[in-house]
Each structure stands twice: as C-alpha cells, then as structure tokens.
Amino acid sequence: MAALDRLTECLSKLPGIGRRSAERMAVRLVAEPDGVLRELRAALDEAAATVRCCARCGGITTADRDPCRLCSSGDRADGTLCIVEQPNDILLIERSGGYRGRYHALHGKISPGRGEGPDALRIETLLRRVRAEGFTEAILALSTDMEGEATAGYLAELLRKEGLRVSRLAHGLPAGSGIVYSDPVTLARAIQGRVEA
Amino acid sequence: MAALDRLTECLSKLPGIGRRSAERMAVRLVAEPDGVLRELRAALDEAAATVRCCARCGGITTADRDPCRLCSSGDRADGTLCIVEQPNDILLIERSGGYRGRYHALHGKISPGRGEGPDALRIETLLRRVRAEGFTEAILALSTDMEGEATAGYLAELLRKEGLRVSRLAHGLPAGSGIVYSDPVTLARAIQGRVEA
C-alpha cells in the first residue's frame, strides 16, 4: 500500500503528529474519499491560492496583502519587535491582547540534532529589518525547551550588538494554576523572577 | 483569513486532532506552499486514485484489488471473524501476528452523543457476510470506552441470534482506551486470551 504509506509519511511531517497518529489520519482520509479527503484537498487548494507568509514578518497573510495587516498597520508601536518561532505564535500572542508592537517569525529554531542551524531561520531578514525599521527593543518569545533557549541565546547576542535592548518572556506559574501543579524548574524561575505584590 | 480557518476546520475533523493542533498544522502547511503543502496534495491525489476500502471487510485495499488481499487469501482461517472499528485497526492486529482469521471493519462505533446509531455502521454488510460465509465465531476487537462497550453489547446479542460464538479481547487493554494506542505484544496477548462476551 505505497500510496497510504506516502500519505502517512507526509502527514507525520506536520508539527506534533507522530507516526501512528499520521496512519490513523491517513486511513480515515482514504476511508472517506468523497468526504473528508475531498474536503481537505479543496481546503489545501484554496489555502495555496490565497494564503501567504508576509515577506516582512513571516506571519500569515493573504496573497493580496503583503506586507500583512500587522506590518502595515499605523496603529502599532514601532520601536518594539517580538520574535517568535512560528507564524501561529503571532496569532496566539495577538489573542492574548498583551502586545501592541511588531512581529518577526523565524520559521523554526536552532536545532543541531536535526541539522538546523541559524542559516535555516529568517535571521538575515531580521537583521535587515532591525537596521531599516529602527527598533529599540526586541522581545524573544521562544520555546523554553533546549532548542528555544539556544536560539534565544544566539539572537540576544546578535541583537545586542545591533544596539537593541533584548528581553524574554517571563517564566512563571500559568494563570489559574497553583504551585502544586508546577514543575521544579518553572517554580525556581517563578521565584527568581518574583514581582512586588 | 477564511481559507486558513477552513483548512484548520477540515484538519480538526481528523481523528485525534484538536483545534489548536489543527491550527498549527494548517499554518505549517501554508508557510511552505511549495514544500509540505504541495507534497500533501500530491499524496492525497495519489491515495484518492489508488486506495480503496474493501467492499467486503471495509479494510484498506488498492483500487485494483477488491476484495482485499486478506479477504481473498486462501491462507486464512475461515470460521472466525474479527470485528473492528476502523480499517487501521486491521493493520495493527495483523502486525501483532496474533490472529489468522477474517476481518470486518465497522467504520465507527455506536455513539448516541454524536447521533451515530447502528445504522451508521457496516452492520448490514456484517450480517450478510455472517450468513453467506459461514462464520462460527466472532471476536469483538472494539474500544474499551463506553461507546465501544455499547457497540460490543449490541453486536454480541445480534451475532448470538445468528448462532455464532461471540468473544471479546481479553483485558490487557487499558480501560477508556482503544487498540490504536496498544503495542503489538499486548495486542497479541489480548487476542489469545479473549473471553466470552
């Protein structure tokens, strides 16, 4: 069943999808060739035709709007740049309502294990923007895993050399949770980063 | 971003995929329109053209082989029918090496919460097969969650009326789970130790 294997292989390349989930998805798709498979093909065609990544920030935009709404808005704070890994991180931060500046999506993180160094990321574009758009502060909103930490360390050094103030998201307890649910590393960081009550 | 929303919506219909995973997958796809998106479209086209569900057992087969390899093989025990929910459950049981009879995939389970009664399943085909192919034993290899138990209870009654001996997989499967999460050894033992339903 080579075609099923290829579909499984392809789905398992998507973020968060392991081999067995991919197989389950593939089988569901072929079990309903006139249902969800046809629907997915149409949705992919439509998305390929109309959705793009913004050439400036790397976030999601439509084919007829590049730079994107967030890059071209006159209503955002110009001095601050929030750097994220993936385009959908921008959507999540926008929904939080906690940020009003500009964005830059790297499309990945430094991952020596998978042979992905800084060259695979949108860092050249980042430096070009930093020089052209006059940012004074960069916020690194990256993963707190080892690869995210390595990427943050690399970028912090690079951006400080460009004269920017560089900060990172606070580590701490999630809202609506208690210390009983927290792991030791998070807890240690929350104590370190304590704020006046 | 209507196209992105539709793609997300479509992916979230696949088994095991929640809203946020679907969004992450959709964004990754549109972020690489010439990479993984194009690849997935090609894989879907190929699968749609070449992969089918076997009209007899409901398992996966190729367009040029219906009934499937397992249904048409002379090398399988003819008296025993193993009834599963999804086509990929057949692949998992085959990999376990613990079973040599025939299969029947229901393509679902009774799920009153989602408005899916017995009519939505391949039960009519099942009864036709039971009468035509002379099975003497049915093994119900269904999920151990409430919907799977309800389906098993319903089928056990139905199949006993047809004169079949009906058994279910032995415990070994964790409660509230399905065979899709089980490893081959556990699965083989569960088949061996099946008990009267």
For residue A13, list chain B residues with Cβ-Cβ distance below 8 A: 36, 39
- CA B143 → CA A24, A164, B53, distances in Å? 15, 56, 21
- The amino acid at residue B146 is M
Q: What is the mean pLDDT of residues A144-169?
A: 91
State the pLDDT at residue A102: 96
- Contact status, residue B146 vs residue B83, Cβ threshold 8 Å: no
Answer whether residue A114 shows pLDDT above 80.
no
State the pLDDT at residue B98: 84
Taking each helix axis as running N to C, give the angle between helix B36-50 and helix A2-11, from 0 to 180 degrees, rounded to the nearest 10. 150
User: Quick check: helix, strand or coil at residue A185?
Assistant: helix
Higher pLDDT, A89 or A175: A89
Interchain contact, A4 vs B45, CB within 8 Å: no
Interchain contact, A30 vs B60, CB within 8 Å: yes
Sheet holding A165-168, edge to edge: A102-105, A80-84, A137-141, A165-168
State the pLDDT at residue A146: 86
Interchain contact, A15 vs B4, CB within 8 Å: no
**Degrees to nearest 5, angle at CA B30 with A126 and A95:** 70
| pLDDT level of residue A101 (50, 70, 90 thresholds) | very high
**pTM as predicted:** 0.76
Per residue in B3-25, pLDDT (tens digit) is 999 999 999 999 889 998 999 99
Answer whether residue B184 shows pLDDT above 90.
no
State the pLDDT at residue A29: 93
List b or e across B112-127, with b for residues whose CB sees 16 or more CB atoms inside 10 angstroms.
eeeeeebeebbbebbe
CB-based contacts of B6: which residues, under 8 Å, 6+ apart? A43, A46, A47
Per residue in B80-111, pLDDT (tens digit) is 999 999 998 998 889 888 899 999 999 989 98
Nearest residue of chain B to residue A50 (CA atoms): B3
Average pLDDT, chain B: 88
Higher pLDDT, A88 or A71: A71
For residue A6, list chain B residues with Cβ-Cβ distance below 8 A: 43, 46-47
Interchain contact, B31 vs A107, CB within 8 Å: yes
Answer whether residue B152 shows pLDDT above 90.
yes
| pLDDT level of residue A84 (50, 70, 90 thresholds) | very high
User: Quick check: helix, strand or coil at residue A88?
Assistant: helix
Interchain contact, B14 vs A27, CB within 8 Å: no
Give the helix ranges, DSSP H, for B1-122.
Answer: 2-11, 19-31, 36-50, 69-72, 87-96
Residue B43 in tokens: 């894989």
Distance from CA of B22 to the nearest CA of A (A): 10
For residue B14, list chain A residues with Cβ-Cβ distance below 8 A: 24-25, 28-29, 36
User: Quick check: helix, strand or coil at residue A117?
Assistant: coil
ipTM over 0.85: no
Per residue in B25-84, pLDDT (tens digit) is 999 999 887 889 999 999 999 999 999 999 999 999 998 999 999 999 999 988 999 999
Interchain contact, B26 vs A10, CB within 8 Å: no
| pLDDT level of residue B190 (50, 70, 90 thresholds) | confident
Interchain contact, B47 vs A37, CB within 8 Å: yes
Give the helix ranges, DSSP H, for chain B.
Answer: 2-11, 19-31, 36-50, 69-72, 87-96, 123-133, 146-161, 184-192
| pLDDT level of residue B195 (50, 70, 90 thresholds) | low
List b or e across B158-196, with b for residues whose CB sees 16 or more CB atoms inside 10 angstroms.
bbeeeebebbbbeebbeeeebbbebeeebbbbbbeebee
Interchain contact, B48 vs A41, CB within 8 Å: yes
Which DSSP helix (H) or strand (E) runs through B141? strand B137-141
Q: Who among B21, B28, B40 is closest to A44 (CB)?
A: B40
d(CA A86, CA A83): 9
Cα B80 versus chain centre, distance: 17
Main-chain phi, psi angles of B35, to 5 degrees: -105, -105
Q: How many CB pairs under 8 A join A and B?
A: 161
Answer whether residue B114 shows pLDDT above 80.
no
Answer whether residue B175 shows pLDDT above 70.
no
Testing the interface with A: which of B20, B44, B106 to mutate, by most A Cβ within 10 A? B44
CB-based contacts of B129: which residues, under 8 Å, 6+ apart? B56, B81, B104, B135
Per residue in B70-84, pLDDT (tens digit) is 999 999 988 999 999
State the pLDDT at residue B126: 96
State the pLDDT at residue A197: 67
Answer whether residue B171 shows pLDDT above 70.
no
